[in-house]
Structure 1
């Protein structure tokens, strides 16, 4: 009967300990993400608007209603988006210099065509703060259709499945090592 090798056993145990600790960490992240999503859900229904400052907005203000004044449009672009009826298309955007300094990305509205000419050169914008951060105009601007409003329920919360994966990796490592030790005998 051969002895159990020390160094490989220690390496496997260290790897298993790391995998289990990563699984536990993901369970803690699950609680944090649930609290964050609850905060965002409450922010979404808070009717009190916030101001978009020259310094921008913090993540605590995501999904709140906000207002800013676009003093000058410095760039236009588009990104994939959905309209209020959940149809895919293009969200038309404008990079704005805002009163008091600073910049803001404003999602002006939705169209089917990415080359849609948008007739909007700045002004007061009211909407919902989306991750990025960006302000999704509501009502839409420049003759565009309404975008789908940002919804925190679209943020994935898959930390539980990640934790299960790490625990399964640890179990798999132990099983493979035990099989390897048995074959060695």
Structure 2
């Protein structure tokens, strides 16, 4: 009988169809999970910072207390910002903060319109830095070449930056958060929000469900043609 010629393709199409449906449902579950993470990040942004935990994540707004180590600074990256007077080159100003327990944390204070690192005249005594932690970054193929003698870096690696400062530092960076300085100011421009992971799971779910629908139509026309040609 002609329909027997469709048994093997039909079984394959049936298994593939439910596999695609399963992937779509999985993405919907991932969507709900990701929305929970984004809601927690938003809540952290509008809430007061928490003391730096033992195992910080990049999705928490944390605070650390300590004293700035004078005379030491580095500049990360070479980002260009627009201004009323045209493009302005600059980078992220990094300074070390020594905590009461002796641990040194490198703090990215924000973008400054400078091409060489100049330490800020931070107040002496115990102070507080607020922001989020950033894990070390592995140099990419197209990363610039670091120039430690000038204090210029193109890879956010706290251990490497700290070593050239003559300091043993924490294995992460603190990205400072705060209010933006007035336009035209030479002060650092700190981060305005916590990092957020991408949330494309709805589009992924539609893609898998779409593939399942296409498979149904493709198998229908395939089966029709095979039966008519027999």
Same fold (TM over 0.5): yes
Partner Cα separation in structure 2 for residue 167 and residue 176 of structure 1: 14
1:169 and 2:211 are equivalent in the alignment: yes
Q: Paired residue for 1:67?
A: 64
1:127 and 2:124 are equivalent in the alignment: no
Partner Cα separation in structure 2 for residue 90 and residue 20 of structure 1: 49
Bigger fraction of residues in strand: 1
Using a 3 Å threshold, how does the CA distance of structure 1 residues 178 and 68 change in structure 2: closer, same or farther?
farther
Task: Output aligned runs, 1:84-163, within 5 Å.
Answer: 91-92=91-92, 94=94, 99=99, 106-111=107-112, 116-120=115-119, 126-129=129-132, 132=135, 134-138=173-177, 144-151=187-194, 155-163=197-205
Partner Cα separation in structure 2 for residue 159 and residue 89 of structure 1: 37
Gaps of 5+ in 2: 136-171, 181-185
1:17 and 2:18 are equivalent in the alignment: yes
After the TM superposition, list the runs of 4 or more consecutive aligned residues in structure 1 that deviate by more than 4 angstroms: 68-76, 79-83, 87-91, 95-105, 121-125, 130-134
Task: Output aligned runs, 1:14-53, within 5 Å.
Answer: 14-51=15-52, 53=54
**Rg: which structure is higher?**
2
Structure 1 residue 174, shift from structure 2 partner: 1.4
8 Å CA contact 1:77, 1:93 repeated in 2: yes
Structure 1 residue 7, shift from structure 2 partner: 2.1
Query: What is the root-mean-square deviation of aligned Cα atoms in Å?
Result: 3.9
8 Å CA contact 2:107, 2:174 repeated in 1: yes
Partner Cα separation in structure 1 for residue 112 and residue 73 of structure 2: 21
| Equivalent position SS for 1:5 | helix
8 Å CA contact 1:82, 1:148 repeated in 2: no
Deviations 1:49-78 (A, max 9, x none): 32265xx5135xx24142255769797522
Structure 1 residue 44, shift from structure 2 partner: 0.8
Q: Paired residue for 1:2?
A: 2
Structure 1 residue 81, shift from structure 2 partner: 8.8
Structure 1 residue 25, shift from structure 2 partner: 0.8
Partner Cα separation in structure 2 for residue 131 and residue 32 of structure 1: 22
How many residues are aligned here? 173
| Equivalent position SS for 1:162 | helix
| Equivalent position SS for 1:43 | helix
| Equivalent position SS for 1:161 | helix
8 Å CA contact 1:52, 1:68 repeated in 2: no
Gaps of 5+ in 1: none
Deviations 1:24-45 (A, max 9, x none): 1111111111111111111111
